[in-house]
Protein backbone atom coordinates (compact mmCIF):
# COMPACT_ATOMS: atom_id res chain seq x y z
CA UNK A 1 0.00 0.00 0.00
CA UNK A 2 2.95 2.29 0.65
CA UNK A 3 4.15 1.98 -2.96
CA UNK A 4 0.70 2.95 -4.20
CA UNK A 5 0.64 5.95 -1.89
CA UNK A 6 4.09 7.08 -3.03
CA UNK A 7 3.20 6.70 -6.70
CA UNK A 8 -0.05 8.58 -6.21
CA UNK A 9 1.77 11.38 -4.38
CA UNK A 10 4.39 11.57 -7.14
CA UNK A 11 1.65 11.84 -9.73
CA UNK A 12 0.00 14.66 -7.77
CA UNK A 13 3.33 16.48 -7.48
CA UNK A 14 3.87 16.22 -11.23
CA UNK A 15 0.38 17.60 -11.82
CA UNK A 16 1.17 20.54 -9.52
CA UNK A 17 4.48 21.14 -11.32
CA UNK A 18 2.71 21.11 -14.67
CA UNK A 19 0.18 23.65 -13.44
CA UNK A 20 2.93 25.89 -12.06
CA UNK A 21 4.76 25.68 -15.37
CA UNK A 22 1.64 26.91 -17.18
CA UNK A 23 1.46 29.93 -14.88
CA UNK A 24 5.08 31.02 -15.29
CA UNK A 25 6.10 33.67 -17.80
CA UNK A 26 9.75 32.60 -17.81
CA UNK A 27 11.11 30.87 -20.90
CA UNK A 28 13.89 29.21 -18.90
CA UNK A 29 12.98 27.45 -15.66
CA UNK A 30 14.81 25.49 -12.99
CA UNK A 31 14.27 21.75 -13.20
CA UNK A 32 15.57 19.13 -10.79
CA UNK A 33 17.64 16.44 -12.43
CA UNK A 34 18.71 13.93 -9.81
CA UNK A 35 20.27 15.84 -6.95
CA UNK A 36 20.86 19.13 -8.80
CA UNK A 37 18.82 21.82 -10.48
CA UNK A 38 19.45 22.87 -14.05
CA UNK A 39 18.08 25.65 -16.20
CA UNK A 40 16.04 24.27 -19.08
CA UNK A 41 13.71 25.69 -21.68
CA UNK A 42 10.09 25.77 -20.58
CA UNK A 43 9.03 23.55 -23.50
CA UNK A 44 11.63 20.91 -22.62
CA UNK A 45 10.52 20.88 -18.99
CA UNK A 46 6.90 20.52 -20.10
CA UNK A 47 7.83 17.54 -22.29
CA UNK A 48 9.78 15.91 -19.46
CA UNK A 49 6.92 16.39 -17.00
CA UNK A 50 4.45 14.86 -19.46
CA UNK A 51 6.69 11.79 -19.92
CA UNK A 52 7.11 11.45 -16.16
CA UNK A 53 3.32 11.69 -15.69
CA UNK A 54 2.75 8.98 -18.29
CA UNK A 55 5.25 6.69 -16.57
CA UNK A 56 3.76 7.34 -13.14
CA UNK A 57 0.20 6.85 -14.40
CA UNK A 58 1.14 3.49 -15.96
CA UNK A 59 2.81 2.48 -12.70
CA UNK A 60 -0.32 3.47 -10.73
CA UNK A 61 -2.52 1.45 -13.08
CA UNK A 62 -0.26 -1.58 -12.64
CA UNK A 63 -0.32 -1.22 -8.85
CA UNK A 64 -4.10 -0.83 -8.87
CA UNK A 65 -4.47 -4.01 -10.94
CA UNK A 66 -2.20 -5.86 -8.50
CA UNK A 67 -4.21 -4.52 -5.57
CA UNK A 68 -7.49 -5.71 -7.10
CA UNK A 69 -5.97 -9.14 -7.68
CA UNK A 70 -4.73 -9.40 -4.09
CA UNK A 71 -8.06 -8.21 -2.66
CA UNK A 72 -9.93 -10.81 -4.74
CA UNK A 73 -7.53 -13.53 -3.58
CA UNK A 74 -7.96 -12.46 0.05
CA UNK A 75 -11.74 -12.61 -0.28
CA UNK A 76 -11.50 -16.14 -1.69
CA UNK A 77 -9.18 -17.22 1.14
CA UNK A 78 -11.53 -15.71 3.74
CA UNK A 79 -14.41 -17.73 2.30
CA UNK A 80 -12.37 -20.91 2.58
CA UNK A 81 -11.27 -20.14 6.15
CA UNK A 82 -14.75 -19.18 7.32
CA UNK A 83 -16.12 -22.30 5.63
CA UNK A 84 -13.61 -24.44 7.49
CA UNK A 85 -13.58 -22.73 10.90
CA UNK A 86 -17.04 -21.08 10.96
CA UNK A 87 -17.30 -18.64 13.88
CA UNK A 88 -14.11 -19.90 15.53
CA UNK A 89 -12.07 -17.24 13.76
CA UNK A 90 -12.44 -13.52 13.31
CA UNK A 91 -10.64 -12.12 10.28
CA UNK A 92 -10.01 -8.41 9.86
CA UNK A 93 -11.85 -6.51 7.19
CA UNK A 94 -9.49 -5.11 4.53
Query: What tens digit of pLDDT does each residue of 4-40 get?
Result: 678 889 889 999 999 999 999 999 999 988 899 999 9
- Which range has the worst mean pLDDT, 3-12, 57-66, 78-87? 3-12
**Would 60 be classed as within a structural domain?**
yes
- 16: containing domain: 2-69
Q: In this structure, is residue 51 part of a structural domain? A: yes
CB contact at 8 A, 31 and 48: yes
pLDDT at position 51 is 96
Flag whether 58 is in a domain. Answer: yes
Can you give the pLDDT at residue 1? 55
* CATH number, position 49: 1.10.287.370
Residue 88 falls within a domain, yes or no?
no
Q: Is residue 83 part of a domain?
A: no
Note whether residue 87 is domain-resident.
Answer: no
Evaluate whether residue 76 is within a structural domain: no
How many domains in the chain? Answer: 1
In a domain, residue 90? The reply is no
CB 5 within 8 A of CB 16: no
Amino acid sequence: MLMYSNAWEANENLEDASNELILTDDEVVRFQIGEVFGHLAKDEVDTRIEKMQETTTKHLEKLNDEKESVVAEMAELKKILYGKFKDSINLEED
